[in-house]
Structure 1
Amino acid sequence: MRYLFEAFAFDTDRRELHRGTDVVSIAPQVFDLLDYLIRNRERVVSKDDLISAIWNGRIVSDAALTTRLNIARSAIGDTGHEQRLIKTLPRKGFRFVGPVLEAQDPAGGVVADNPVEPSKVALTLPDKPSIAVLAFQNMSGDPDQEYFADGMAEDILTGLSRHRWLFVIARNSSFTYKGRAVDVRQVGRELGVRYVLEGSIRRFSTRVRFTAQLVDTATGNHVWGEKYDGKAEDLFDLQDRITEAVVGILEPTIQLAEIERTRRKRPENLGAYDYYLRAQALTDAFTRNSVQAMLNNCLQAITLDPTFAPAYALAARAYIQRHTQGWVVDEPREHAEVLDLVERGLRADRLDPLMLGTAGHCFAWFAHDLAKGIAYIDEALSVNPNHAHAYLQSGVVRTRAGDTEVAIKHLNHARRLSPRDSRGYAIFQALALAHQLGGNLEMASDWAHRAVQHNPNYLPGWVVLASSAASIGRDAEAKAAAQTLLGLDPQFSIRRLIRRYPIAMRDKFEPYYEGLRRAGVPD
């Protein structure tokens, strides 16, 4: 049997690992380890499973097993950080997660001396969004600019690989198409990916223009495209800025495309990721029914795959929405439920930035531990410095901790990373509150207006609009905002607001509460 994945062919009969026409040197024990993981790729195999199969049950140290796994990853171009092909599931085991095609040997058991490169065979798609970043074209006519084009593609690829919900093809596979005219649909088949990012760079006079397109490999249609211009004075600074912008916009773009794809699926064909996407599509509706449906879909995803951390994070977000909208019925029970979800999500994947950031948000809101919340959010940002939602969460929690200067900086960075974010209303509301606490009342009112215009069902937007408008003497506007927020939550009061959210410095929030009193919000 030959197993084909990425640029590799794994031949169990000849006990050889090929990359293209080259044989990769690999120790027998490491070969057996890869063989076992690939054959059992539909499940998580435990440490005991591996020891029984590879070492015949002999006592083996964790260090020895880790060493063999690292060697196996290295042989197939993977790393312990990326875990693109071999994934470690803490306290559970290991799984080969790369898309694999099984190929029988030719009749008679004779294998050609030059095996067929797996890139010529259509690979099955993985069970999460998959993307290949092709080498960008240097349109400058200057060979010396080749390094800049390659560096740009590599940086974007690295930025995307930090999003653990994405399956990102390694550079050594996607760059094999460099300098060739290829159909992206062919690339999709050969690399087993749903999306391809291609681009070009042109330098003229003192400026550089970068063009990028995201293409659906099933149809060949463009999902997204953009041009970026900048001065060529500092190429590396320009490279960093473009990389940040492209990575930031690709995350929501790909998720929207995946949500649309999942909507067309029949319910009986849904997997864990599909249920997660259905929940994702409901996140901005802010109605009781949408929040309940969002939670139900997440719980279905968790049932199908208890190791899928983003589903825990999104389920926790459903509880956050209930909390902010005033829909909590049994506060102690729901707080315990959401904190349990967070702990289970962290056990499932301690490196998922969405899970880490959401854990921080929940520890701040539901355990009233702002310091712990900020620590987890900062960890999310260290794992993925391009994670727009973690910057939003940082701004929200840091505002409550009284650090409005850093909060505003992080919220503006979230806007820069994801300028078309569907969660714009949350960013705008958080900016309004941070500016109001910082004493910039006019700017606070402006951001509050943007928040309620972006999502009129989002109650916190009306709260900060009522307070900021009253604080600058716009009494009629403040009273109208107060009436709207009381329509969304008839039980809303300043006392409930104080109890609902933790704050580090009460005196800093007193003018905010006074603005609500002037607007007519009950004490």
Structure 2
Amino acid sequence: MTYVFSDFELDTELAELRFAGQTVSIEPQVFDLLKLLVSSGNRLVSKEEIFEKIWGDRIVSDAALSGRIRDARKAIGDDGTTQKFIKTVQRRGLRFVADVKVCNSVPLANVPSEAVSNVADQTDAFARPAVAVLKFQDASGEGQPSQLEAAITDELVAALSAWKYFPVISRQSTARVNAPEMSAQEIGTLLSARYLVHGTFRRAGNRLKIHVALTDTDLNTQIWSEGLACDIDELFEVEEEIAGQIASIVSPELERAEARRVLRKPPKDMTVWELTMRAASLLSNGKRSDFVEADRLAREAAERAPDWVLPYTLIATAQFQMAMANFSSSESASAFTPTLEAARRALEIDRSAWIAHALTAVGELWTNKNHELALLHVERAIELNPSAGMNYHFGGCITGFSGNPEKARFYQERLFRIDPTYPYRAVIEADLGLWHLLDKQFDKANERLRLSQSWDPFYGRALQRRVALSGLTGDCDEAQQAARKLFEMGLPLDYRTIASSYPFLKEEHSEIFLDGLRRSGVNL
């Protein structure tokens, strides 16, 4: 069923909000709130009813409700002052006051394939396969449903939605599914979902073991599964952090599954969505030639869909990956300028694109030395997608150079809980070494730098920090050894070049680092 008001369509079958035919990015709970209000036919919906329908038995604050109302209004171009769609009735609840028409949705399966193909080149909405998260089952053998079942599932829906690649079917829709009695193909047809995310968890004391799987409904086949485990006592927000870990694993697997499907098609027949998925897949390969090809494909997608944000975020990501190769060289000051340009273009299209905020933050720090703006962007990225390891990588880097090494360590240590397989392990360990160095915790700095060098013996930034640390601790032999390796790699040993590539905001932090370089005994 589709509810039509003004230029908006709220499609309950596809769990989509569309404006003038274009999909509007919206979180699942915000969609569910809009659906409740729009379907109530101008009826007053009380706060109690909203809490019951949206959150069920979960206890949440009035602030959470206020946030969802604000986001719902923002999604449809409303606000608390004009209230042209959503009217607040003081101390009682909300009413949806716009004229609403109801019509039946047309499932994509009933649309001729050539029509879908034509639309796909004009908008991303029809080309993107949807994902449904089925309720995670408690396999602890206690016989009674646990609160974790619904909580993990709800948080995972929100976490996957935040990645913004694939539309995620709302929990209200998936609640209709009787998974044990239905095949994956039947569930996919019912929900209009190509992929299913499902799993079980087993709790033993404070230890939680989780098994998560990904199923392709068209093939009626499970295409991936993985197990993970965690100690609940070590988590700050149990359901949120568990869901974040699952999302950080599942999201790349979804991209890879789509890329495998895309590769079966000739490049000339690819839709804009398929071009972007091919580009996203190449970005995970780690070779410069793949980054260059990903950039080319993303730019082709951007030419065909200039008002779609995803190609520009992929261009920015490809430029970031290529910039990392020059990060230890004299070109580091300008290495991230193309990243910044593409990320800014993405934000012009969609201010809620988390990866564009993250990469803008990197560009603002390294290209413009604008710590304040970089912090604003990276904090917004974390707010938009708290399960993306990249956000904590950049959050730590920017926060550390902005003068708060302790918070920087908090961000980057949290990264390893969210995404234990994060590819830039050597970079993160070298950063953690630097933050300990600035706090004069030299033993911990030494431990982190050794870890960085064990992950990547040729990471130049770790070697530069090794020279500085060795100077501060009086180990000139180790400083000379690190300097020789830098020289053999063709990386700069010039004092001024190294100093200029460390954008410390606080003078005392700059002086600690530079003092280490001066006292190292290395001819810089």
TM-score normalised per structure 1: 0.69
User: Unpaired runs of 5+ in structure 2?
Assistant: 23-32, 41-52, 55-67, 78-104, 113-123
Range 282-291 or range 433-442, more displaced: 282-291
Check 1:369–1:31 CA distance in 2 against 1; reply closer, same or farther (3 A cut): closer
8 Å CA contact retained: 2:135, 2:149: yes
Q: What SS does structure 2 have at the residue aligned with 1:449?
A: helix
8 Å CA contact retained: 1:188, 1:195: yes
Does the alignment pair 1:460 with 2:461? yes
Question: Which deviations, in whole Å up to 9, do the C-alpha atoms of 1:83-133 show, x marking residues without a partner?
Answer: 9xx999xxxxxxxxx99416389xxxxxxxxxxxxxxxxxx9964464211
Q: Which residue of 2 aligns with 1:211?
A: 210
Does the alignment pair 1:184 with 2:163? no
Question: Which deviations, in whole Å up to 9, do the C-alpha atoms of 1:134-165 show, x marking residues without a partner?
Answer: 11234456665354312221122122212212
Question: Which deviations, in whole Å up to 9, do the C-alpha atoms of 1:332-352 show, x marking residues without a partner?
Answer: 7x7764443232111121111
Q: Where in structure 2 are the equivalents of 1:475-494 lying within 5 Å?
A: 475-494=476-495
Q: CA offset at residue 463 of structure 1?
A: 2.4
Aligned counterparts of 1:221 and 1:189: Cα–Cα separation in 2: 16
Range 138-147 or range 370-379, more displaced: 138-147
Does the alignment pair 1:311 with 2:310? no
Q: Where in structure 2 are the equivalents of 1:28-427 lying within 5 Å?
A: 30=5, 34=9, 45=20, 74=38, 100-101=107-108, 103=110, 127-128=127-128, 130-139=130-139, 144-178=144-178, 180-202=180-202, 209-217=208-216, 218=219, 220-228=221-229, 238-258=238-258, 266-280=266-280, 289=289, 292-306=292-306, 307-309=308-310, 310-318=313-321, 320-321=323-324, 324-326=327-329, 328=331, 337-427=338-428
Aligned counterparts of 1:179 and 1:288: Cα–Cα separation in 2: 43
Letter in structure 2 aligned against 1:199: G
8 Å CA contact retained: 2:364, 2:373: yes
Q: Where in structure 2 are the equivalents of 1:437-456 lying within 5 Å?
A: 437-456=438-457
Q: Which residue of 2 aligns with 1:61?
A: none
Letter in structure 1 aligned against 2:374: G
Q: CA offset at residue 362 of structure 1?
A: 1.0
8 Å CA contact retained: 1:211, 1:226: yes
Aligned counterparts of 1:373 and 1:435: Cα–Cα separation in 2: 22
8 Å CA contact retained: 2:199, 2:212: yes
Letter in structure 1 aligned against 2:324: Q
Q: What SS does structure 2 have at the residue aligned with 1:199?
A: strand
User: Unpaired runs of 5+ in structure 1?
Assistant: 1-7, 9-16, 18-25, 48-68, 89-97, 106-123
Letter in structure 2 aligned against 1:479: Q
Question: Which deviations, in whole Å up to 9, do the C-alpha atoms of 1:185-219 show, x marking residues without a partner?
Answer: 44334434343222234567x56755332223136
Check 1:371–1:207 CA distance in 2 against 1; reply closer, same or farther (3 A cut): closer
Q: Which residue of 1 aligns with 2:497?
A: 496
Check 1:483–1:75 CA distance in 2 against 1; reply closer, same or farther (3 A cut): farther
TM-score normalised per structure 2: 0.69
Percent of residue pairs identical: 19
Check 1:102–1:240 CA distance in 2 against 1; reply closer, same or farther (3 A cut): closer
Q: CA offset at residue 361 of structure 1?
A: 1.5
Q: What SS does structure 1 have at the residue aligned with 2:403?
A: coil
Check 1:369–1:183 CA distance in 2 against 1; reply closer, same or farther (3 A cut): same
Letter in structure 2 aligned against 1:224: S
Letter in structure 2 aligned against 1:151: A
8 Å CA contact retained: 2:336, 2:362: no
Q: What SS does structure 1 have at the residue aligned with 2:430?
A: helix
Aligned counterparts of 2:138 and 2:350: Cα–Cα separation in 1: 39
Range 149-158 or range 400-409, more displaced: 149-158
Letter in structure 1 aligned against 2:499: I
Question: Which deviations, in whole Å up to 9, do the C-alpha atoms of 1:44-66 show, x marking residues without a partner?
Answer: 8499xxxxxxxxxxxxxxxxxxx
Letter in structure 1 aligned against 2:388: H
Check 1:291–1:228 CA distance in 2 against 1; reply closer, same or farther (3 A cut): closer
Question: Which deviations, in whole Å up to 9, do the C-alpha atoms of 1:222-274 show, x marking residues without a partner?
Answer: 5232254667x999964344333323333344445555555665433444455
Check 1:230–1:438 CA distance in 2 against 1; reply closer, same or farther (3 A cut): closer
Aligned counterparts of 1:263 and 1:101: Cα–Cα separation in 2: 22
Q: What SS does structure 1 have at the residue aligned with 2:496?
A: helix
Q: Which residue of 2 aligns with 1:59?
A: none
Aligned counterparts of 1:237 and 1:472: Cα–Cα separation in 2: 39
Range 269-278 or range 71-80, more displaced: 71-80
8 Å CA contact retained: 2:433, 2:448: yes
Aligned length: 440
Range 406-415 or range 498-507, more displaced: 498-507
Q: Which residue of 1 aligns with 2:61?
A: none
8 Å CA contact retained: 1:325, 1:459: yes
Q: CA offset at residue 416 of structure 1?
A: 0.8
Aligned counterparts of 1:256 and 1:301: Cα–Cα separation in 2: 18
Q: Please give the root-mean-square deviation of Cα atoms over the aligned residues, in Å.
A: 4.4
8 Å CA contact retained: 2:235, 2:241: no
Q: CA offset at residue 465 of structure 1?
A: 3.3
Check 1:444–1:129 CA distance in 2 against 1; reply closer, same or farther (3 A cut): farther
